[in-house]
Amino acid sequence: MNIENFINSKASQLAFFVRGYWSYKIPYIEIDLYFWDTLEEWAQVKKRVDEPYSQKERVFWHLLHQLHFWPEQKLLHDQYLRSELETCLNYLEGEGQYPLDCIGIRP
């Protein structure tokens, strides 16, 4: 699997988990497990050190990091944070514009 295929596949999964969490259908532990599974799968992706990032990839890594960084309750109840993350989700789902403040980097 290459980087583009990996990001496309994982971005839709990430959106599913976040939206499920925000609607109280998926517990936070599932997002945490998704985070670690994604890192494990990333280790198996064929990549070159000098391969450039796509905008989608930057947003993906940014959002994944934010979900792991912030505490569970802040992700649920901080409206400013949720608004920022919603912008990222919309972009990953092909429904929004590129969020200018996303500086995601590969692990």
Q: What is the tens place of the pLDDT at every residue in 44-92?
A: 998 888 899 999 999 999 999 999 999 999 999 999 999 999 999 999 9
Residue 68 lies in a domain: yes
Q: What is this structure's pTM?
A: 0.94
Q: Is the pLDDT of residue 20 over 90?
A: yes
Q: Which residue, chain included where needed, has tokens 């799968």?
A: 41
Q: Is residue 101 part of a domain?
A: no
User: Is residue 102 one of the residues assigned to a domain?
Assistant: no
Residue 62: inside a domain, yes or no? yes
> Residue 50's pLDDT is what?
86
What per-residue confidence (pLDDT) applies to 49? 82
Strands annotated E in the chain: none
Domain ranges, residue 86: 3-92
The Cα–Cα gap between 92 and 81 comes to: 17
Question: Burial, 67: exposed, middle or buried (Cβ in 10 Å; 0-12, 13-18, 19+)?
Answer: buried
Return the half-sphere exposure (C-beta side, CA atoms, 13 A cut-off) of residue 74.
Answer: 10
Is 70 contained in some domain?
A: yes
Q: Give a yes or no: residue 106 inside a domain.
A: no
Task: State the total domains in the chain.
Answer: 1
Nearest to 65 by CA among 42, 98, 95: 42
Residue 105 predicted with pLDDT over 90: yes
